[in-house]
Amino acid sequence: MNGKMELLFWQLVYFFIKQRYRIVQLANDSREIWLESLENKHVPIVRLVRDDIDWSQWLKRDIEYAWRVAEQISKRRLGKFNKIVNIYISTYPPVDDWEFLIEKPLPLSQQRNAAFQTFLIHSGNIHISLQQLADIVQTPIAFPPLAGDRDPFFEAERLKRAILREAREQQERERRLFEYGKPVFTYIFIALQVIVFLLMERSGGSTNPDVLIQYGAKFNPLIQAGEWWRFFTPIFLHIGFLHLLMNTFALYYLGMAVERLYGSWRFFFIYFTAGFFGTLGSFLFTASLSAGASGAIFGLFGALLYFGTVYRHLFFQTIGTNIISLIVINLVFGMMVPGIDNAGHIGGLIGGFLAAGIVHLPNHFDWKRQMRSLLITVSIAAFGLYVGF
């Protein structure tokens, strides 16, 4: 094992981390590392391998394996990119012919014009390989020379420990993001809608239009007559037991996730803002009597989508694909099945996203973004009310 190449491997890992890449996969022996960029849309994925490669056959098999993984990654990524880069750090090149294996990038079928580019850096081509790599990632790559009395193995081990410690701390920070708050208002809102449902059943039935109007359902003539509270009261009303059951389950699972992510008071604001926007959307586009927590619940989807704009990599590695699929399925279902207030769902989705932008994530501050979200929210609400009245 060559100390100079060992140090180069960890210097490259450290370089990419400083360029705001994050470790997404680390082999048990730390000889293979996959990194994902938070910002570089040109080269979003980099793989580094430290191995002394003797034969080109091994190199060929490993490139094919890495290319198949890259194909799977490209299927899951949204947006375009140019390259996924695969880098080998070897003391010496293979003893037989190998250059033809990396001469041309391999195409990625899921992304038009995207490619899987391989580099093999060995002790005889370090300078030119780093220059080519810098051209690909569009950032200069240079490392300070090692002082004559410094042991490269010692420096490599020191850098490795620092990188792995930072990776562990990063994982812990990301884990804590999902455990910031405790579900308080989720349980309160569930209890309120169950209690209101029982009161409505006692008063004549939750499917009785007169009872629904009495308890505050969305009814356009009364809203236009000045009963503004009907933009909020429908959040806690449900038409029939099945409607209550479905929304209670949805509120339980989504509410738990969003309240843990944003904290209770942010969750409270998001839920009511989304509920208002849901009712506003229904008020503007449907004349029928309506009620339900669906708009506010879609707002919780919106809040999770907003989280995805702040932590895109974490969103798609955890809940992102499922959340987007559920939104699409529910909206398509709402378009196909009569009687579902899709305008309220879309309004709630927009309202939840904007409300999350106003309060932002706990311990995060982006005043420009928050003020922009507030301005857009107020403008949409004012315009909607102006049109509706």
The residues assigned a catalytic role are: 294, 345
Q: How far apart are CA 348 and CA 380, in angstroms?
A: 12
Q: Judging by beta carbons within 10 Å of its beta carbon (0-12, 13-18, 19+), is residue 317 exposed, middle or buried? A: middle
Q: Which two tokens stand for residue 213?
A: 């109007």
> 368 Cβ partners below 8 Å, 6+ apart?
none
Q: Residue 36 forms beta bridges with which residues?
A: 22, 45
Nearest CA to 269 out of 204, 347, 339, 360 is that of 360
Residue 292's SS3 state is: coil
> 329 Cβ partners below 8 Å, 6+ apart?
none
Q: Which residue has the tokens 């949409």?
A: 380
Q: How far apart are CA 299 and CA 308, in angstroms?
A: 14
What's the gap between Cα 168 and its chain centre? 20
Residues found in the chain: 389
Residue 353's SS3 state is: helix
Q: How many helices (H) and strands (E) does the chain have?
A: 15, 6
Q: How far apart are CA 358 and CA 378, in angstroms?
A: 11
How many CB atoms lie under 10 A from the CB of residue 173?
Answer: 9
